[in-house]
Chains A and B, each alone.
Chain A
């Protein structure tokens, strides 16, 4: 009798376990956040529910501690470039979040004359319509970050879960997943993106969805191969023989191993998504009403013979520099993360 992995009944508990595991995670993060920002949340009369979540929190408290601890440890083992990049990313996030505080004008408001050079009122000058460019950069950062984060998280988590299920369960489900990954990877993504964006209404949500559809395969493949390899590890077999449920194995053994890998791939996807969004906007396929770095580049480069005027210096350069700076930050962080995660590059190992 051969290894019967095609049995769907056997696979059902795994599916359930993975879902349960995921929801536990989300819950924990949510509650940890709430606890931090809304003190007293657990003590106000949400009796039944909050009691249960408290228990959950206690149960998985060590996991959360482990995670935050390992993040700090990871950050401290970065190179100087990596640390600088981390700082840069925080700066961009800060500017994006507190955009109204660091700018004087609404990004879409006609706040000055057309094409004013940088001056005390408009730090980086204005564009042809008299909109403040610094304000555009700050609010545009929101767009880039939201797209990057949303796409990365959606495809990272979604692809990760799919890969985990495929790798751990095996069987037909895995075969299906593998084919889907192959197809997705084989598609020429950017041209397809252009076509889809051109046909669909170019709203943020659509752009995010399209990007997610094109980028989930990579994390799925990474997690799948990792789960597949881990499944054969004797300590996991031992745990299973000792009666461990799939939820336990995934939470206790596979998650800690897979998460860092997933994190690196999420960073890479974020870079890709930001570039793709900017690219689409640059080509004029972005949302014309939104403020984004890509749109700014689009408008400035569509300005007839901008290079024969001095305008490119304050109109074209700032969004370009901002974009390059963000991508560099992500790239450096990604590189350092990879170094920390890859055991072959890890020096000394854990002790």
Chain B
């Protein structure tokens, strides 16, 4: 394959008042003095026939990048770096030469279709215009070619004489694609082509683009915030954030196992990738103005000192994947191997509750451990939390080997919340004393601060923090409230890993779902990793990034939750899934 487009160290800054620039993606960032950097030292290559997706939230500089390639940036933008098209620097070349390349070799399909087309010109005329200009065709020839193009994109040629406002959104989008394809460009840039369309049209446009790519052989740069849409269209993917490339690699691999926390956040906020999971956005806002360190610092769950001071570059992790992170992407928070535990039975026998289990939990990830009663999942959770002490296997937490220490005695450690709410808080203690206990034990903070922290923790789990409530005894609380109190006690130590052992199974459905949503919400906003133990596959699918299925003390299957659900590898998993499905069917068939 030949290298069609190469971008080297491209930086684009909008000077002062950039709201007038009419740049949809980055117009909101222009508050800081001296302008804002929409694209920051970005490098990129595009091979012939390649379909590259550029993904990012609004304001991440995607559209600016597209405009820069097209040479359509507003005047207040200043460009550094080079954009090489077939070896020639587009930035350095005079405007006339650029005009030749624009549209003929590189064309773009814009997002907002009604504004892009001239409302007082017929669609046909507008499409003919570039052909007449660039290819030197006559009017009738151009019209003929228009008809061809229309049938190519699936539009009836009768619409050629219509005005833009007479077309529906999907039709207008097709017309725009036809226009972009009119000069048979080598690079087609599609800027949010489907964001305003309904799901059905989206699929049609998607299929159309794939078909046309095969017919015409152009390279494509797909700009979108919709991972679901681009996942089927592109073969490579670049994730942009605050003008920088955060991650780049094979599309399916990036979606399946994101390396950067930002990518994972995007994937988790996209509907339609994991069918059963609830949607959770990335908490926080993108930084405004120019930041010194990693732009994702303020929203990152695994930030370190170095992330604040210096900005990571996109570095290759292996032959196919690149990530811009000082820590090399999402780090492994806990790694456990050779976990073994057995109970002595009364008759002298030995029951292997957990056998040769090996698992890892990434930073900010939710791992659900699913299995029947007696499959050893609770035992495993207790082992990981340190209840059994040392000598049960190798556990590495944040890179350090744990040897039966008290994992919960420091901030940022491991905390566990148990199943039975009555049992997990002492009836003798008040709410204040219960939640404060970890601080008391470890002599953290002074008295006043402890009470403040307790109030904060209670507020975060949705409990009142009034004086009267703080002084209530736990015995006078309901099961759901006690479970929340236990949760607050765990959260007050701001854990990096929270182990939830069947926390909802002894609560009624409504309370259980409230607690579950609360827990997942806290996980999302505070960014801790969670091991969620449950026997209910459906609940696991709602919250988990990954699912581990346990049977008779072993993990028989572990993987992305949708994969475990849709393509169970093991018989036991299949049974578990089928049991759920059958149950649902029974309910609906009466």
Contacts and interface: CB of A to CB of B under 8 A. Distances in A.
Interface of A: 1-4, 10, 233-235, 237-244, 248, 253, 256-257, 349-351
Contacts of A238: 408, 416, 418, 424, 437, 486, 489-490
Nearest to A248: B441
A243 B389 CA distance: 12
A3 B354 CA distance: 13
A187 B409 CA distance: 47
Contacts of A256: 428
Contact of A3 (B388, B434, B489): B388
B88 interface: no
B331 to A, nearest CB: 23
Contacts of A242: 406, 408-409, 437-438, 441-442, 493
A1 B391 contact: yes
Nearest to A245: B441
Max chain B CB contacts within 10 Å: which of A240, A243, A244, A350?
Answer: A243
Interface residues of B, number: 40
A349 B427 CA distance: 10
10 contacts: A3-B388, A235-B423, A235-B486, A238-B416, A240-B406, A241-B386, A241-B415, A349-B427, A350-B427, A351-B475
B372 interface: no
B341 interface: yes
Contact of B341 (A1, A10, A237, A244): A1
B424 A350 contact: no
Interface stretch (B220-228, B294-302, B321-329, B342-350): B342-350
B426 A350 contact: no
B406 A233 contact: no
Max chain A CB contacts within 10 Å: which of B414, B420, B438, B441?
Answer: B441
A237 B441 contact: no
B402 to A, nearest CB: 12
B425 interface: yes
Contact of A2 (B344, B473, B489): B344
A1 B340 contact: yes
Given A1-B392, A235-B424, A351 B476 contact: yes
10 tightest CB-CB pairs across the interface, nearest first? A243-B409, A234-B418, A243-B406, A234-B424, A242-B438, A241-B408, A242-B408, A244-B441, A235-B426, A234-B423
Interface in B131-178: none
A234 B483 CA distance: 12
A243 B475 contact: no
Nearest to B350: A2
Interface string B379-401: 00000011111011000000000
A4 B341 CA distance: 11
A253 B424 CA distance: 13
Contacts of B434: 235
B325 to A, nearest CB: 31
Interface string B488-504: 01100100000000000
Nearest to B490: A238
Contacts of A233: 423, 426
Contacts of A257: 428
B235 to A, nearest CB: 48
Given A1-B341, A1-B342, A234-B418, A241 B425 contact: no
B229 interface: no
Contacts of B14: none
Contacts of A2: 341-344, 350
Given A1-B341, A248-B441, A351-B475, A235 B425 contact: yes
B300 to A, nearest CB: 27
Contacts of A241: 385-387, 406-409, 414-416
Contacts of B426: 233, 235, 253
